[in-house]
Every structure is written in structure tokens, then in C-alpha cells.
Amino acid sequence: MNSRPLILAIDDQEDQLRALEEALAPCDFGMITATSGAQGIEILRDREFAAILLDVQMPDMDGFETALWVRARDIRTPIVFLTEKYADESFAMRGYEAGAVDFLFKPLNPDILCAKLSVLVGLYRKQRELEIKSALIAERAERRYRDLVEGIPNGIVWTSVVGSGYFNYVSASAEKISGFPLEAWLGTRHFMLAHSHPEDVEVVGTSISEILITGRDIDTEHRLIKADGKTLWLRTTVRIAELANYREYRGISVDITSLKETEQSLRETIDIRDEFLSIASHELKTPITPLQLQIQGFRRLSQKGELHRLPPETLNRMLDVSATQIDSLSRLVHQLLDVSRIKSGRVHIDLSAVDLSHLIRHVVEVFRSNFALESVDLKLDLPDSLRGKWDATRMEQVLVNLLDNAIKYGMGKPIELSLREVEGRAEIQVLDHGIGISVEDQERIFRRFERAVSPNNYRGMGLGLYITQQIIDLHGGTISVESTPGQGSVFKLSLPLDP
């Protein structure tokens, strides 16, 4: 734009061209000359001109023919014909039809020539300015669009010419999201397929053929394997854009990995909840059935007026069995209540002076009176007394849970319960020689609803250890397990004497 606009002068007579050069020397534009129509057309191929001065009378290809050739090449540069002949109307019409904007007659008047060309040069300048302005606007719009696209942090915007197998544009976010550099995205044939999760290769392939066959947009969820080997979930939407002489896929692939992970863990939670509900209802029903049978039995006897004939020992035994069932029912209900209290942070401990040796003896006594330890050898190793500050009811609950498990999973073999004071802490161990727990399960059994045994073989809701751990935590203590499958387990508690 800063260089001077040019005029192309085509005339077969060199003296005429020189005269033109002289005449236009003072004007604010340069001039290129050609001595034939063919040469002029050749020059027009590579350069742009503000106007063409075209001699009408030339051998081989005259001015009108040259003009028609120029227009046929879609060159819109204004043409001014130079002629010596006096133009009649049909002559003028031929010129205008060939694309002339004006006629000038020889001999030329330099002032008129300069003035006429200046108007055309002025128009040319305006048009160039407009072109530059609109190119600037387009460039700005493009930059804004790119900024916008590059600014999408969790989405990869891309394009690919149909049939090429390569991306021709990929937004910068691709690198951050996938870990692969942009060069890999742009330089790898069928990048998405090449890095597809093995199970999704088919999904991606089918989607591509689907969009080609139907022309309809596609929307697919699929996985890529990232540079670090982890899985990247993408939701890709693609459409085909029809351009002047090719077709292009335009797509956006949004990173939905965290969404997928949440979905997965929600599904797992729902599965755990459903399994828990079925286990819990089974557990609650188990003590109810014998209770119902007992009551039916009593009612039958009462209807026959025979209740008084039951020997007191039988009656007592029946009532003992019922009490045991009610105890077990109430323990299950309390566990459920505890879980909901723990979840809402409503479990508190009430510390008071407690003798832990005494408390353990009391718990064992209750177990013995309930016949739970009838066929099990329980060894106690306790000091006479070990005083500290704890929540007596909650500590009792902890001991019941651990002893209950040692009996349940202990295969009837001896159980050892010991208490010691070590460096200002009370250490309790509950040891059994039962089924044991595999290393993989040792951590998860302390979580809610987690069990490491089949519900067909062992009753339970998977809540005892979870609640136990919460209570120990509230006392500022720790609980751990050591176990060898088939040989037994030892649960170790360590509690500060005064939390």
C-alpha cells in the first residue's frame, strides 16, 4: 500500500509508450509498459494495477480482444482505451462491451490523461484501503475466535480434512489434557484411533463411518490412553463442514474424566447400599423368626389353658432364648443408629474415670452368661486394675464387637484377651486362631459395610469394626490388625489413659 500504484500501458508502438511515460512522469503513480496484448496479459498475471491503458489498434491481438482476455481471467482492473480513430457509436459500444471504462483520443493531452488516471488511482487506493481494513477485521475476528477456542480449558477443539487422516488444527489445550505434545496430535495419522482405549477403538471407528455415511453430527463418549498411561474420558461432538473444494470434520472433545469417575463411584455407592439393604434386612429378620415362633407357642398354650403347666426351667430357658434374640436385634438397631450418627457427626464420648480391667471382666461375664462363650476357651491376661478416663459404655461396645468377631470368625479355637499399660497408654489385644484376614482386606474391613466373608457363611452387616474405629478415634487411640489367613487374627488397640 505504501508503494506507488501502477498503471499498465499496452501499445505496440514504443514511441507512443515513451510519450505516455513522459506525460505521466509528474503524476503520483508509476507505469509499466507492454508492447503487445499477450505480453500485457502475462504481466497482469503477477501484478496488480490501478488501471490499464490499452491501445485499440494493435497487430495480432487488438485492444478489444486483449480486453476480453483480461476480463476472461477475472481481472477487474479498469481499462481505458487509447485510439486515434474517431469513434462512432458502434465502435464505442464494442469497447464498453469489452470492459472499457473510458476512451482517450490521440494525440493525448497530458493534463487530461493525468487527471483521468488520478481518479482511477484514487478509486484503486480506496478499494485497497477497504480490503486491508476488512482483512484486519477478519484477522481480529479470527484471533478472537482462536483466543476463545484456546481458552476452553477442558475441551479440545480440532479440525481434520475428510480423508486426510490427520488433524489440521488442534487447540493448545490438547497438550495439557492428554499429555501428548501438539506435534504428536498433528503429526500422527489417525491420532484418536492410535491412542484409543482398546475397548473404544470400535466406537471411534464406527462413529467416523457413521458421520461419513449419514452426514449427521455425532456425539460419542470414548476413552483415550494419555501419555502417562492413565485413562482420559472424552465426550466428542463432530460435524462435517462443506467447504469450497473439500470437506472438513470439525470437533470438540470435552474432558469428562472426573464426571465419569464420580459416576462410577456413585454407581459403586448405590451397589454397596443395595447390598447392605439386603444384608441388613436379612440380619434384622434372623432374630425375629425365632421370637415369633416362641410367641406363637405361648399363644397356643395359653389358648388351650395349658400355659401354667410349663415347667419353670423350660419357661426360663424359652425366655432366655427370647432375651438373646431381643439383645441381638437391639444391637443391630443400635449399630444402624450409630452409623447414621457418625455420618452426621453426632457421636460424642462422655469421659469418666473407668477401671478398664474391671470393665473387661464385666463384658466377659455378660458373654459367659449369654452362653456365647460356652464352647470357647477364653484366656484373660489382665492387671488387677488399670485406671484411666474413657467413655465406659462406648468402650464396652468396642470390646463386645471385638469379642463377638473373635468368637464368630474364631472357628471355636481359644481366644486370648490381654490388657497392659505401656508408656502411659492402655494396650488391648484380642487374639483368635480362626479364619484370618488376607492382607488386601485388612484395611477395608474398617470401612462402612465392608466385609471379607460370604454372607452365606457368616452373619453380619460390616459395621462393627467401622463403629469401633470411630470410637477409638474419638478417644485419641489407634486400632490395627495383624492376621494370617487360616491361622487367626490379632486386633490391637492403643488408648491414652487420659484423652
Q: Which residues bind ligand ADP (CB under 6 A)?
A: 401, 405-406, 409, 432, 434-437, 445, 451-453, 460-466, 489
Tell me phi and psi for residue 467, to 5 degrees.
Answer: -65, -40
Q: What is the DSSP letter of 99?
A: T
The residue among 263 and 443 lying less far from ligand ADP, judged by its C-beta, is 443
Q: Where are the alpha helices (DSSP H) in 27-109?
A: 37-46, 63-72, 89-97
At its nearest, how many Å lie between ligand ADP and the CB of residue 191?
47
Nearer to ligand ADP, 104 or 336 (CB): 336
> Can you tell me whether residue 422 is helix, strand or coil?
strand
Taking the CA atoms of residue 95, residue 100, residue 104 and residue 110 in that order, the dihedral angle to the nearest 10 degrees is -160
- For ligand ADP, the closer of residues 232 and 465 by Cβ is 465
Nearer to ligand ADP, 144 or 444 (CB): 444
CA gap 186, 469 in Å, rounded: 54
Instruction: Compute CA distances 177 → 145, 329, 369, whole Å.
Output: 20, 53, 65
Judged by CB, which is closer to ligand ADP: 34, or 435?
435
Closest CA to 159 of 244, 243, 255: 243
User: Rounded to an integer, what distance in angstroms lies between the CA atom of residue 157 and that of residue 173?
Assistant: 8
CB–CB of 431/416 below 8 Å? yes
10 Å CB burial of residue 14 (0-12, 13-18, 19+) is: exposed
| Spatial distance between the Cα atoms of 245 and 344, rounded to a whole number of angstroms | 65
- At its nearest, how many Å lie between ligand ADP and the CB of residue 156? 45
The CB-of-166 to ligand ADP minimum distance in angstroms stands at 55
Instruction: Count CB-CB contacts under 10 A for residue 441.
Output: 16
Q: State in angstroms the smallest separation of the CB of 401 from ligand ADP.
A: 6
The minimum distance between CB 463 and ligand ADP, in angstroms, equals 6
Those residues with Cβ within 8 angstroms of residue 84's Cβ, 6 or more apart along the chain or in another chain: 57, 105, 106
CA–chain centroid gap for 405, Å, is 43
Residue 289 beta carbon to ligand ADP: minimum distance, rounded to whole angstroms:
19
Nearer to ligand ADP, 99 or 436 (CB): 436
Torsion 430-436-442-445 (CA) sign: negative
If the CB atoms of residues 445 and 495 are measured against ligand ADP, the closer one turns out to be: 445
Of 256 and 435, which has the nearer Cβ to ligand ADP?
435
Q: How far is the CB of 336 from ligand ADP (least distance, A)?
A: 12
Residue 339 beta carbon to ligand ADP: minimum distance, rounded to whole angstroms: 11
For residue 87, give the DSSP letter: P
